[in-house]
C-alpha cells in the first residue's frame, strides 16, 4: 500500500485566469455591497483583489456544503463587474486548497432559488448566464458530494472555485501467487469516519481504477462475482493524494470449460463438499476464485448435466474441463 500525488490532469492557472478579466475599477462601496449580499462568504477577506475589476476572496469556509465522508471543504470566490444583462456563474473545483483546477469531468447541478433545474451536466467546469438571484449548486465527483448556495448580484459575474478536500483510492484485487484473474472483482469502499460512517460510499469493478473520495478513513472489502472469497484492508486517504491498495486473496483459481458444441448454452453451478451452492456462471467457460477446499462443478446443457469433483489449494490454478 502506498500513496502518490493525485493531479486529476489539473492546472494551477485558475486565479490568473480570473484576474485577467479586469476591465474597470471597483470601488470601496462595491466591496461592501458584495460582502453583505453574497451568502456563501465569510466575514473576513483572506486575500485582497489583485486586479481592479475583480474582487477575490480565498479559502472561505463552506457554510452549507456536505461531503460523503469527513472533510473540511471551502472555496475561493472572485467577482467580475459586467454590464447589466451579462450576469452569470463560473464554477470550478480543486482537490486541495493549493491544488490546480480539476480537468476531469465533474457532475454539476445548478438550480434556481425556487428549485427549478437550470443546468445539469458533466464537465471540468460549469458556466451559465443567469439573472441576479439565489442559486443552488451541487457537485458530484466520484464519491465526493458537495452542495452550496450562492447569491448573484446585479452587474456581477461570480466565479467560485470549490475545494473538495478529496483524494483517491486505487484498488487492485489479486489472487496470491497467481495475479489478477479474469474474474470480475467487486470492491466496496466503506467509510470509517465522517457522517456516512459505516456506509458503502462507492464500489469498483475495474482492477486499478482510481476512485475519488473525501479525505478520511475507509475499509475496502474485495470479492469476485464468481467465487466465495473476501479480503479486506483499511486505508487513510489524504486530500490531494492517491492511496494504492493491493489486496491479495488466499485462494485458488478454477478455470471451467465446456468442450462440446461451441454454440451450446451452458449453465454452471459450483457447490461445496456439503452441497451448498457457491456461485453460478453462464457460458462455455468461466473463471472462479475459490477458497481452498473441495467442490462440485456441474454444467447444464439443455436436459443434460455433466459433473466433476475437484479440490483446490491457495495459489493453485485448476482446469476443469467437461464435455461429450
pLDDT in tens, 252-285: 999 999 997 788 899 999 999 999 999 999 999 9
Same fold for the domain at 8-163 and the one at 252-322? Answer: yes
Measured in degrees and rounded to the nearest 5, phi and psi for residue 14 equal -60, -50
- For residue 129 the three cell numbers come to 448566464
Q: CB burial class (10 A; 0-12, 13-18, 19+) of residue 125?
A: middle
Separation CA 215–CA 240 (nearest Å): 9
Determine the pLDDT at residue 31. Answer: 31
Separation CA 202–CA 204 (nearest Å): 7
The topology (CATH level 3) of 166-249 is Immunoglobulin-like (2.60.40)
pLDDT in tens, 282-301: 999 999 999 999 999 999 99
CATH 2.60.40.10 fits 8-163, yes or no: no
Q: What is the overall mean pLDDT for the chain?
A: 83
Separation CA 204–CA 220 (nearest Å): 10
Residue boundaries of the structural domains of the chain: 8-163, 166-249, 252-322
- For residue 277 the three cell numbers come to 451452492
pLDDT in tens, 134-192: 999 999 999 999 999 999 999 999 999 999 999 999 999 999 999 999 999 999 999 99
Helices (H), 97-248: none
User: Is beta strand 241-249 parallel, antiparallel or unpaired with respect to 2-5?
Assistant: antiparallel
Reported pTM = 0.76
- Under 8 Å CB-to-CB from 145, ≥6 apart: which residues? 66, 67, 68, 138, 139
Determine the pLDDT at residue 73. Answer: 56
265, HSE (Cβ side, Cα atoms, 13 Å): 2
SS percent in the chain: helix, strand, coil, step 5: 5, 55, 40
The topology (CATH level 3) of 252-322 is Immunoglobulin-like (2.60.40)
Amino acid at each position: 500500500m502506498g500513496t502518490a500525488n493525485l493531479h486529476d490532469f489539473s492546472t494551477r492557472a485558475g486565479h490568473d485566469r480570473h484576474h485577467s478579466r479586469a476591465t474597470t475599477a471597483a470601488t470601496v462601496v462595491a466591496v461592501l455591497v458584495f460582502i453583505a449580499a453574497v451568502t456563501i462568504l465569510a466575514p473576513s477577506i483572506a486575500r485582497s483583489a489583485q486586479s481592479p475589476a475583480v474582487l477575490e476572496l480565498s479559502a472561505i469556509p463552506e457554510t452549507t456544503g456536505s461531503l460523503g465522508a469527513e472533510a473540511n471543504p471551502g472555496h475561493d470566490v472572485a467577482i467580475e463587474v459586467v454590464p447589466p444583462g451579462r450576469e452569470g456563474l463560473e464554477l470550478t473545483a480543486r482537490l486541495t486548497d493549493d491544488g490546480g483546477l480539476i480537468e476531469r469531468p465533474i457532475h454539476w447541478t445548478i438550480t434556481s432559488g425556487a428549485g427549478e433545474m437550470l443546468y445539469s451536466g458533466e464537465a471540468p467546469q460549469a458556466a451559465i448566464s443567469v439573472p441576479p438571484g439565489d442559486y443552488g449548486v451541487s457537485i458530484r465527483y466520484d464519491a465526493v458530494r458537495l452542495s452550496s448556495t450562492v447569491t448573484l448580484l446585479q452587474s456581477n459575474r461570480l466565479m467560485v472555485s470549490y475545494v473538495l478536500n478529496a483524494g483517491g483510492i486505487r484498488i487492485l484485487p489479486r489472487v496470491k501467487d497467481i495475479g489478477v484473474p479474469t474474474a470480475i472483482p467487486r470492491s466496496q469502499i466503506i467509510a470509517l469516519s465522517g457522517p456516512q460512517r459505516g456506509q458503502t460510499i462507492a464500489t469498483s469493478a475495474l482492477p486499478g481504477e482510481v476512485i475519488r473520495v473525501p479525505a478520511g478513513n475507509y475499509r475496502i472489502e474485495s470479492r469476485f462475482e464468481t467465487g466465495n472469497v473476501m479480503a479486506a484492508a483499511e486505508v487513510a486517504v489524504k486530500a490531494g493524494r492517491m492511496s494504492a491498495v493491493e489486496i491479495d486473496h488466499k485462494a485458488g483459481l478454477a478455470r471451467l470449460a465446456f468442450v462440446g458444441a461451441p454454440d451450446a448454452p451452458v449453465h454452471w453451478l459450483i457447490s461445496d463438499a456439503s452441497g451448498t451452492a457457491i456461485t453460478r456462471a453462464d457460458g462455455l467457460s468461466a473463471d472462479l476464485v475459490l477458497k481452498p477446499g473441495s467442490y462440485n462443478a456441474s454444467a447444464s446443457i439443455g436436459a443434460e448435466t455433466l459433473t466433476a469433483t475437484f479440490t483446490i489449494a491457495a495459489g493453485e490454478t485448476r482446469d476443469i474441463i467437461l464435455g461429450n
